[in-house]
Amino acid sequence: MRALLAVFLLSISFPSFATDRLYGEIHGGFNVIQLSDLRFLPIQASVSFGGYFYKTLGVDVNLGGSLNEDRDEDIKLQLENQITLSVRFDSPPTRGVSAFVLIGWAQFDLSQSGDSSIGTTQTVSETFRGAAVSIGVRQQIGSGPFSVVGSYRFFDVDEPLDFDTYTLGVRVAW
Amino acid sequence: MVITIKRGSVPWLKPLSVSVLMLVLVSCNGDLRPLEEQIEAIDLDVASIAITLPPNSLSPFFLGSNQAVQLGILGTTFDGQSIALNPDDRRWTSSDISVVSVNDDGVVTGRAEGMAQVSVSVAGMTVMQPLSINVSNAPLQSIARISGSADNTADVNSMLDPCIPITFAAIGSFGGVDERPLINVNWTIDEASEMADAELFTTAATTAGAVELVGRSPSGGGVAGDIILTATVPAEATTGSAALSASRTLSVADSLVSFAVAPTDVTVMENNTTRLTAPAGYNLSSVEFATNGADWEVTQGENVASVESVGGTPGLVTGLDIGTATVTARCGAFVESTVVVVAAGSDDIVFNRNADIIIFLSDDPEFNDLRVARGDDFDTNNEITDEVDFFSSNTSVVTVDSTGDDRGDLTAVGLGSATISAEFEDARISITVEVR
């Protein structure tokens, strides 16, 4: 209910978009997920869509997941899927470079499997929801619609789970 | 479409405010526990789990209304070993919470008369057999008996081996309907025989209402000493106006034939601890450890070391100050001691080398230097080499400079090995140097 209210507030705060300020991005990178004494670094792929409603203020939707299971000791972990809805704040570009901050809400599913000493495997999946904050830098490539984007994101789900994502991607604006 | 912004307005303020509001409104949820439990289960190699009852519990298991009891979880590994799992923060369930409620930490509470089944799951494993709990409001009528942890249904053993603690519980009879261990009990002992010496105590692990009893060895001669253990339930804890009591006569056997303290020479660092044990031989059984029932004390050097006895962690020695202390353990007529040397904490100072050093006669001393720093790990920010005194145990093998800019430099003199020590205030550390 609170999430729905947040989306509603978000929608009424952005009355319109400039049609030439929409973008799409594709990212690759890795997650750093730490729980208990184990650390997992599955490879991450994601896409983002968004737009600016005023100069450097906009919204962003990010969808992704890990491409592989990463193993630590006898445990394997994978980010099954992840969606993040954010408001974005970009700095004015200087020589084609701008920094940005994304603040939003995220939901993701973690899938963990473990091998027992007799070879049986058991899988556990859990869904988490919470806040996500990203910071990053974008470099315009020439005068065309493309730019390169690097970002760091951390998730806060009010659990003793450290979950960070490092990505590098390409944006196309239209 | 283009937004029209009024001159002088702050366009980013609204979305920023909404963003902050979003973060406040965002509901965090998700349960990490199943993932952590799976890691725990894989790590411990747990194949199945079962619910365990407090010691001295009876079957069928009864609770009074509003009576709370801590349940436990016992895991069985794939190779058949038993391992106790922490019952806290698990998925405990009750088949009827109006009869028995259970919290996430495995504490069950009787709510109303009836029967309910309690279950728990860990890492996706659920107990094969849920625990049936009966709740009864029947009043306490009498103390049916005093039950000891060494008892079994076939043979109620009233003979105590010296210095082996036994847990006793008073079993109440409620309305002639059920029996269960009593919680509000006062315990006393009467050493009916001069040959007996016994002590009552409780520890953090002792179940509520129960008591630990340790008998100490009589003076010998093959004579057992009797003691009388009495449990009393105060009047305010009964439905009647009178207190209830029951007694049980126990004998401390003259069965101890050997007693020792191990290890015989102990070194403990200042502010650190080490555990002594008391292996004991009994005439009707093999060697057992009388550690938990022996009477431990520091008989010399009370300011150097301390030792815990029954009621704490018996035999646990703590180094208080640098020096030598004598720790003594007694079990009746058997008295044994050991010398404890308390040394400067090795964590006070540390070498830049953490393994034995090998140097060669041809080496330049400039390349074989020992350096010292405060702390557990060598860190140049904490280096105190210039303030340390160095010593060599054999200067015909290796010498170490203890003055000037070359302080800590090792010079190979002859083949062999020597111990190089470094002293700083009360701390002393050593390392072996071999010359080839």
Claim to verify: residue B130 and residue B144 sit in the same structural domain: no
Claim to verify: residue B128 and residue B62 sit in the same structural domain: yes
Q: Do B30 and A13 touch (CB under 8 A)?
A: no
Q: Do B18 and A122 touch (CB under 8 A)?
A: no
DSSP notation for A8-28: HHHHHT-----GGGEEEEEEE
Q: Do B22 and A54 touch (CB under 8 A)?
A: no
Amino acid at B410: L
Q: Which residues in chain B have their CB less than 8 angstroms from residue A128's CB? A: 29-30, 32
Best mutation target among B20, B39, B40 (most A Cβ atoms within 10 Å) is: B39
Model confidence band, residue B155 (pLDDT cutoffs 50, 70, 90): very low
Model confidence band, residue B13 (pLDDT cutoffs 50, 70, 90): low
pLDDT of residue B153: 43
Claim to verify: residue B161 and residue B247 sit in the same structural domain: yes
Best mutation target among B5, B6, B32 (most A Cβ atoms within 10 Å) is: B32
Q: Is the dihedral of CA A12, A13, A18, A19 positive or negative?
A: negative
Q: Could you report the per-residue pLDDT of B327-338, keeping only the tens digit for each?
A: 999 988 889 999
Amino acid at B209: G
Model confidence band, residue B10 (pLDDT cutoffs 50, 70, 90): low
Q: What is the domain-level CATH number for residue B362? A: 2.60.40
Q: What is the domain-level CATH number for residue B107? A: 2.60.40.1080
Q: Do B22 and A129 touch (CB under 8 A)?
A: no
Quick check: B177 pLDDT over 50? yes
- Give the domain range for residue B429: 349-435
Region B310-326 average pLDDT: 90
Region B342-346 average pLDDT: 72
Domain boundaries, given as residue ranges, for chain A: 22-173
Å between B89 CA and nearest CA of chain A: 13
In this complex, is the C-beta atom of B47 within 8 Å of any C-beta atom belonging to chain A?
yes
Claim to verify: residue B147 and residue B243 sit in the same structural domain: yes
Q: Could you report the per-residue pLDDT of B272-308, keeping only the tens digit for each?
A: 788 898 999 887 667 788 899 999 999 999 999 999 9
Which stretches of chain A score pLDDT less than 70?
1-20
Q: Is residue B124 in some structural domain? A: yes
| B236 class by beta-carbon count within 10 Å (0-12 exposed, 13-18 middle, 19+ buried) | exposed
pLDDT of residue A42: 95
Q: Is residue B25 in some structural domain? A: no
Q: Do B31 and A159 touch (CB under 8 A)?
A: yes
Q: State the fold for domain A22-173.
A: Porin (2.40.160)
Nearest to A6 among B26, B36, B42 (CB): B26
pLDDT of residue A61: 97
Q: Do B123 and A122 touch (CB under 8 A)?
A: yes
Q: Is residue B9 in some structural domain? A: no
Cα–Cα distance, A155 to A157 (Å, whole number): 6
- Which of A146-150, B177-181, B290-294, B347-351 shows the lowest mean pLDDT across its residues? B347-351
In this complex, is the C-beta atom of B436 within 8 Å of any C-beta atom belonging to chain A?
no
Q: Could you report the per-residue pLDDT of B241-271, keeping only the tens digit for each?
A: 688 999 998 888 888 888 999 888 788 888 7
* Domain limit, last residue, from B81, B115, B136: B136
Claim to verify: residue B395 and residue B416 sit in the same structural domain: yes
* Domain limit, last residue, from B136, B168, B184: B136
Region B152-166 average pLDDT: 70
Quick check: B230 pLDDT over 60? yes
Nearest to A6 among B12, B22, B28 (CB): B22
Model confidence band, residue B345 (pLDDT cutoffs 50, 70, 90): low
DSSP notation for B242-272: S-EEEEEEEEE-S-EEEE--B-SEEEEEBT-
Quick check: B24 pLDDT over 60? no
H or E element, residue B189: strand B186-190
Q: Do B35 and A3 touch (CB under 8 A)?
A: no
* Domain limit, last residue, from B198, B221, B254: B254
In this complex, is the C-beta atom of B128 within 8 Å of any C-beta atom belonging to chain A?
no
Q: Is residue B2 in some structural domain? A: no
Q: Is residue B58 in some structural domain? A: yes
Q: Is residue B370 in some structural domain? A: yes
Å between A21 CA and nearest CA of chain B: 11
Q: Is residue B111 in some structural domain? A: yes
Q: Are A23 and A51 in contact (CB under 8 A)?
A: yes
Model confidence band, residue B350 (pLDDT cutoffs 50, 70, 90): confident
Nearest to A75 among B23, B31, B39 (CB): B39
Cα–Cα distance, B79 to B168 (Å, whole number): 33
Residues A51, A57, A58: CA angle, nearest 5 degrees: 30
Q: Is residue B268 in some structural domain? A: yes
Asked if the interface predicted TM-score (ipTM) of this complex is over 0.85, the answer is: no
Chain mean pLDDT for chain B: 83
Q: Give the count of domains, chain B.
A: 4
